[in-house]
Chain A
Amino acid sequence: MIFTFKHWFPTSAVLALLVAMQSAAHAQDIEAGRAKAQACAACHGPGGNSENGLYPTLAGQTWRYLYIQLKDFKEGRRNDPVMSAMAQPLSRQDMIDIANYYAAQPLKPTDFKADETKVRLGKAKTDETLCTMCHLEKFAGQNETPRVAGQRFEYIVKQLKDFKARVRTNEGGSMIPVARTLSEADIENVAHYIASLR
């Protein structure tokens, strides 16, 4: 049984409620996660605000996405020489705690200088590709779908290219067909647009 609704956005009020209730529910996890996340800061930056485009910013990410990615690294559905090893010793609770910690950290603006023309073209492409049907308006993310607004430019480019080349395959068959329709220039433009979102 399935669904093919076209544009389903929770209202911002509902989202705010969800966020508020989620954070309340996980207050304890956040403190536990802070302690467990110390090793992550070397690459992902203080409070999960990455200072290097090789590594994603984790601050403000949805907790469910972070948790699922850690689990996928641990269980081999997603592969990265560093992250696969880092995730190995983590228990389920560790992953939940770390995910909740980063989800609760404020996302800080990067020093990325967006190209106005590329931002415009990128936005048009994301409209056409219906990205926000899952990622929600302005790429705020929801549940298992990541927030990508304000993510590091180089990291966005790398993920889209990895999906396109089927190097990253842990998305259940949704991002690969999307990325396959994007040209190199599209990816560049889309990344300019998304990286510039706040």
Chain B
Amino acid sequence: MSTFKTSRRFSMMVLALCALIGVAQAEEIQGQKGMSGGPNTITKAPNVSQSQLNAAGGQKANWLHTNGDYGQTRFYPGTQINTGNVKKLRPEFTFQTEVRESMETAPIVVDGVMYMTTSYNHVYALDAVTGREFWHYKHKMGPITTFCCGPNNRGVAIEGGKLFMGTLDAKLVALDAKTGKLLWETEIADPEKGYSETMAPTVIDGKVLIGTNGGEYGIRGFVKAFNAADGKLLWTFHTIPEKGHEGVWAVNDATGRNMHRDIAAEKAALARDSSFYQTLGGGVWMNPAVDTKTRTIFFVVGNPSPDLYGAERPGDNLYTDAMVAVDLDKGTYKWHFQYIAHDVWDLDAVSPPILLDAKDKSGKMVPAVMHGGKTGHVYVHRRDNGELIRFSEAMIPQENMWVLPTAQGARMLPGANGGVEWSPMAYHPKHRLAYALNLHQPMTYHVEASKYPGGKLWLGGAFKVIEGEKQWGRLAAVNVDTGKMAWKFDTEQPLIGGALATAGDLVFYGEGNGLFRALHAKTGKLLWEYNCGAGANAMPVAYSVKGREYVAMGCGGNTQLDFKRGNSMVVFALAKD
């Protein structure tokens, strides 16, 4: 079956410590040499206005945000490539980077120029029609980087003529989009304490918004806003409040299942010591959605630290495992909704929220925001107050929820990767369907008492894959108004990466075995596939240049699931007659 099949026995598998040291290298900009035809530089400097960014979802030419628009629907309105002709989709070019490592990027495309990133924070500017390289920027990495799940990067953001990228050594850099030249660089947080950046920033009205990794290292998570002009910090929202992180001592999770907490013991522990908020975790791995009307951002917060050992972090551990709404201009709290209080399974909230209109409990259409959880549920909330309208049926098998981790290991499904990992869903407004990439990985959960180890990997136990049990993936199409699955498409391997839906009634997604596929958005029927030679685990995007539509997918494999590495950006278009 999958690449997970292995002859080695997992009798005592402690999760790999996989912080790779960043390669210290000089910042460099390279132009491509020795190729003919067309200019080697970008002739017209990009200048992306705020109104273009606001209207990104309604146009077909550019792909301006990691997830398509501020609502993060990953919905492309073009119909040129559609269910009727997708079988004629062919690779137009393959661009190979110099970094053969895990690829999770979503390219940004502006006026026929593509900006893509690789592991270790390289950025390439390409001709989006021919694959010709305009420039190549390599971030000058500091000596200390600390990160758990591969040296990934998920892309740049653009505003005006500037690109913005977060780096593994927890810096934010701004580049000149025309030349690749570094304009400014600012430190987001201290990498030695476990902070690092893999997410793409989101930019709006001169503010660069970015969260942080580090929930596996005992950080105190945040979302920060920086001034796009000069990199000065504008505001910080801590995902762990100094006071009140104990919450309401919730007994049940968002779906009403008992989490088997010993609340009396937790209260006693909190009375002894409440200083742990500084190391309580709560990373923010993916972009916030932005409601430009109400000036609100919506993001989800990752797991508490340490992942599995909860005894010394009593309380609900707010705002871990929660969706949070924050004022865009001031960075102040609006509301939160926690899915799992006092998580000891790492079934946290990662996949980026999507703005939509959905039926409330009385059947009335209301502004909503949804999230695909590692639990295997899609959660739909009211956008104004966070109230949970509904959660979907389980998209993948659940078992034994919520059995507590033990020293010997307790079996529970889903495994600690989900459900839906960081993988962004796509949303098709006409069909009312959310498309979610799911994993099925049976695991046992092991707990081990462990003090804060000072910036080292801090799980407080181990997750172990169960030898001999089949793992697989599922692309699930969930009706947002009913919570029922309209269809599901099962795959040989667990799924990780982004989904893309189009008005041509297609859903694009990739698999670890290299297959990049298009399904019928309404029925889930497989219509087209192409093997790009390495794990297709990035986030697909679509755009058009001179009236011709393209679909692009990064195929570089994945560290987290050990899918075959590569270094390719593959761009597809319909074959010319």
Contact = CB atoms under 8 A, between A and B. Distances in A.
Interface of A: 1-8, 10, 17-18, 21-22, 24-26, 64, 68, 71-72, 75, 77, 96, 127-130, 133-134, 142-145, 169-178, 181
Given A24-B24, A26-B143, 11 more contacts: A1-B346, A2-B216, A2-B463, A21-B23, A21-B24, A144-B457, A172-B457, A172-B460, A173-B453, A177-B12, A177-B14
B6 to A, nearest CB: 6
Interface residues of B, number: 69
B561 interface: yes
29 contacts: A1-B350, A1-B422, A2-B149, A2-B346, A3-B560, A4-B417, A4-B463, A4-B560, A5-B16, A5-B561, A6-B6, A6-B562, A8-B16, A8-B559, A18-B23, A21-B23, A22-B24, A64-B21, A75-B454, A96-B143, A130-B12, A134-B16, A134-B17, A143-B19, A143-B20, A144-B19, A170-B453, A172-B460, A173-B460
What are the nearest 7 A-B pairs in CB distance?
Answer: A173-B450, A25-B24, A172-B453, A3-B560, A173-B448, A5-B562, A3-B149
Interface stretch (B29-37, B300-308, B328-336, B429-437): B300-308
Contacts of B17: 134, 143-145, 172, 174
A144 B453 CA distance: 12
Contacts of A174: 14-15, 17, 457, 459, 462
B461 interface: yes
A1 B448 contact: no
A143 B21 contact: yes
A71 B460 CA distance: 20
Interface of B: 4, 6, 8-21, 23-25, 143-144, 146, 148-150, 215-216, 283, 285, 302-303, 306-309, 346, 348, 350, 374, 407, 415-417, 421-422, 441, 443, 446, 448-451, 453-465, 559-562
Contacts of B448: 173, 176-177
Contacts of B449: 173
Given A1-B421, A7-B8, A77-B451, A133 B20 contact: no
Contacts of B6: 6-7
B13 to A, nearest CB: 5
B285 A71 contact: no
Given A6-B562, A25-B143, A77 B453 contact: yes
B198 to A, nearest CB: 10
A133 B16 contact: yes
A173 B461 contact: yes
Nearest to B565: A11
Contact of B417 (A3, A18, A144): A3
B455 to A, nearest CB: 7
A172 B450 contact: yes
B20 A10 contact: yes
A130 B441 contact: no
A6 B348 CA distance: 21
Contacts of B306: 172-173
A1 to B, nearest CB: 5
Interface of B is mostly: loop
Contacts of A4: 15, 415-417, 441, 443, 463-465, 560
B454 A21 contact: no
Nearest to B14: A174
Given A1-B346, A4-B415, A130 B10 contact: yes
Contact of B21 (A6, A22, A77, A96): A22
Contacts of A172: 17, 306, 450, 453, 456-460
B94 to A, nearest CB: 22
Contact of A72 (B23, B302, B407, B454): B454
B511 to A, nearest CB: 16
With most chain B CB atoms within 10 A of its CB, the pick from A2, A22, A77, A174 is A2
Contacts of A133: 13-14, 16
A26 B370 CA distance: 47
A7 to B, nearest CB: 6
B507 to A, nearest CB: 24
Q: Which of A3, A7, A21 has the most chain B CB atoms closer than 10 A to its own CB?
A: A3
Contacts of A64: 21, 144
Given A4-B465, A8-B18, A173-B448, A129 B454 contact: no
A169 B309 CA distance: 15
Given A1-B346, A130-B14, A6 B454 contact: no
Contacts of B215: 1
Contacts of A145: 17
Contacts of B12: 128-130, 177-178, 181
Residue with the highest number of chain B CB atoms closer than 10 Å, among A17, A77, A170, A177: A177
Contacts of B21: 18, 22, 64, 142-143
Given A6-B10, A143-B21, A1 B303 contact: yes
A61 B374 CA distance: 38
Contacts of A10: 20
Given A1-B283, A171-B453, A172-B453, A129 B11 contact: yes
Nearest to A145: B17
Contact of A3 (B10, B11, B14, B559): B559
Given A6-B4, A127-B8, A1 B302 contact: yes
Given A143-B20, A177-B12, A177-B14, A2 B417 contact: yes
Nearest to A171: B453
Q: Interface centre among A21, A22, A72, A174, by most B CB within 10 Å? A: A174
A136 B6 CA distance: 17
A2 B15 contact: yes
Contacts of A144: 17, 19, 146, 456-457
Contacts of A169: 450-451
A8 B465 CA distance: 14
Nearest to B13: A130
Nearest to B457: A172
A172 to B, nearest CB: 4
A144 B302 CA distance: 24
Contacts of B24: 21-22, 24-25
Contacts of B415: 4
B301 to A, nearest CB: 10
B28 to A, nearest CB: 13
B8 A6 contact: yes
A177 B461 contact: yes
Nearest to B17: A134
Contact of A21 (B16, B25, B453, B560): B25
A132 to B, nearest CB: 10
B416 A5 contact: no
Nearest to A4: B463
